[in-house]
Every structure is written in structure tokens, then in C-alpha cells.
Amino acid sequence: MKIKPLADHNDVLPLLTRWYQTEWEPYYGVDGPGDAQTDLESRCNYEEFPIGLVAIEEGQVCGTVALDLDTATNLTPSVVGLLVGRAYRGRGIAAALLKSAEDLARRLGYSRVYMSTTVLGDLLERMGWHKSAEVEFLNAQRGLIYVRDF
């Protein structure tokens, strides 16, 4: 598997848009406030936020992640939009994407990165992240903010 800049693979944006709309339907679905296509297009940068990455294995898109300002927490750089396609889950792709996002943050000169989540706490803790605070998302769901210091 290779993890590459999303800017080099903007041909995968329609697929990722569908994944976002399906996975996070309350936000990116027809009646939601988000626009998956616009968010993903905005991540086609190399050196300025938001910066997207995409995991590709044997020519197939497996997942994506980005570094950006987290609108729920106003913390930057934050890991946002981490999503692995359903057919590719359980293979360590989320961990590889997360590690690539950490490496990117370090390369850009940051010594800390954040992530807010309701579901990835176990993975983050296994990878050396620690809980920092609670957050309430736009859908009123409560989650946790995690921090990774380098």
C-alpha cells in the first residue's frame, strides 16, 4: 500500500465523495449541512492546510485522511476526515493513514497534532495519543479530543 497526496489523485474524488456521503450521511447526505465534494477538493494541496492524503493498494483507493483546522475544536493541525472504505477495513489502513498524517505534520514543523473522534479512541491510544478534552459536534454528539506530541 502507498499513501500519496490527494492532490496527485484528484480522479478519486468522486469515489471518496460517495464514501463520505454514505459514512457520514447526517452531515454529508442530501439534507446535511456539509458538502463532501467541496471539502475533498479543498484538500488537494501540498504545503498549506487542508492537505489530503489517499491510501492506494494495487491501484485501488482504500482510504483517505487530511490535516486541517478542526472546526469542532478550532485546533490545528488536526487529523480530519479519516475514512477507510468498508471493503478495506481491518487491514491496518487507518493506522497507516494516521501515521502518514503525523509524519506530514512533523515535516511541516509541528510538534503536536490533534484529532476529535467518537470511535477511534482505542486506535489512537495504541498509537501513543492521549485524551485531552471533550467536544460536542454539530450533531450534538459528544466525542473526545486526542493529542499526539512528537
pLDDT of 74-93, one tens digit each? Answer: 899 999 999 999 999 999 99
Whole-number average pLDDT of the chain? 94
Among the four given CATH numbers 3.40.630.30, 3.30.70.1140, 3.30.43.10, 3.40.50.460, the one describing domain 2-149:
3.40.630.30
Quick one: average pLDDT of 58-73?
Answer: 93
Averaged over 28-55, what is the pLDDT?
A: 96
**Residue 37, all three cell numbers:** 465534494
Please, are residues 135 and 144 in contact by the beta-carbon 8 Å criterion?
A: yes
* pLDDT above 80: residue 137: no
What DSSP character marks residue 41?
A: H
85: number of Cβ within 10 Å: 19
pLDDT the model gives residue 71: 81
* Confidence (pLDDT) at 73: 87
pLDDT tens for 101-111 read 999 999 999 99
Which phi and psi angles does 119 have, rounded to 5°? -130, -15
Residue 136 pairs in a beta bridge with: 142
pLDDT at 139: 66
Q: Is the pLDDT of residue 100 over 80?
A: yes
Task: Say what the pLDDT of residue 136 is.
Answer: 84
